């Protein structure tokens, strides 16, 4: 047996006392903040997206074709969220063009000081000259124009090939850029 001395007795930490102390400190701090703010909510700056930020046209999507490359003359990607999914504007800017190209593809171009975004195949609800905000719904996913199924067969007249063709031209670089690299950094 070992003798019990004052030095060998460690005070036990009462968990409930510890929680009560933390709660009292938290409530006290909140009361002080309330008193110094005059009972008014404290305003803080809300972060905004950088002017050169880009978001994907869908919150969730599947990449159906990666960067197109030299054979296509650009680095566009094909993204799908499903037939009729809302398409969001990747940037804040102005619709500078809306037309059908020589292949029948519905085409929408949105620009700002940094980027020219080209989207194909959708049913677009915005018009040329219209200002759009990043994240604003601008249309819905479709298969307008020349689209193919997973085996490469044309979808004309068939219920397949729904996607958005996304090309990003960076005006600062004077070149098309890989959208996937920019979308990795998006908020």
Asked which of 28-32, 164-168, 180-184 is least confident by mean pLDDT, the reply is 28-32
How does residue 69 score in pLDDT terms, banded at 50, 70 and 90? confident
| pLDDT tens string 15-59 | 566 556 665 665 555 555 555 545 555 444 444 566 678 999 999
Domain boundaries, the chain: 62-184
How does residue 2 score in pLDDT terms, banded at 50, 70 and 90? very low
User: For the chain, what's the residue count?
Assistant: 187
pLDDT at 53: 86
Question: Would you give the distance in Å from CA 131 to the centre of its chain?
Answer: 19
| pLDDT tens string 70-126 | 667 778 999 999 999 999 999 999 999 999 999 999 999 999 999 999 999 999 999
Question: Would you give the distance in Å from CA 109 to the centre of its chain?
Answer: 18
Q: Residue 60: which residues within 8 A CB-CB, separation 6 or more?
A: 81
- Cα separation, 51 vs 112, in Å, equals 9
The more confidently predicted of residues 149 and 1 is 149
pLDDT at 178: 92
How does residue 186 score in pLDDT terms, banded at 50, 70 and 90? low
Average pLDDT over residues 5-18: 54
How does residue 68 score in pLDDT terms, banded at 50, 70 and 90? confident
How does residue 146 score in pLDDT terms, banded at 50, 70 and 90? very high
The DSSP element (H or E) to which 179 belongs, if any, is helix 179-184
Give the fold, CATH level 3, of 62-184. Answer: Glucose Permease (Domain IIA) (2.70.70)
């Amino acid at each position: 047996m070992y003798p019990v001395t004052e030095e060998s007795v460690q005070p036990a930490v009462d968990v409930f006392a510890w929680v009560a102390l933390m709660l009292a400190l938290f409530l006290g701090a909140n009361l002080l903040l309330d008193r110094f703010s005059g009972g008014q909510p404290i305003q803080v700056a809300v972060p905004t997206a950088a002017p050169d930020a880009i978001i994907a046209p869908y919150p969730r999507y599947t990449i159906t074709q990666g960067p197109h490359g030299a054979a296509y003359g650009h680095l566009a990607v094909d993204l799908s969220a499903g037939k009729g999914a809302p398409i969001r504007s990747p940037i804040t800017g102005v619709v500078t063009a809306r037309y059908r190209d020589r292949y029948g593809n519905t085409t929408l171009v949105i620009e700002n000081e940094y980027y020219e975004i080209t989207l194909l195949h959708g049913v677009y609800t915005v018009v040329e000259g219209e200002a759009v905000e990043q994240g604003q719904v601008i249309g819905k996913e479709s298969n307008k124009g020349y689209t193919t199924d997973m085996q490469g067969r044309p979808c004309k007249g068939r219920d397949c090939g729904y996607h958005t063709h996304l090309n990003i031209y960076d005006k600062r670089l004077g070149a098309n850029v890989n959208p996937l690299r920019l979308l990795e950094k998006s908020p």
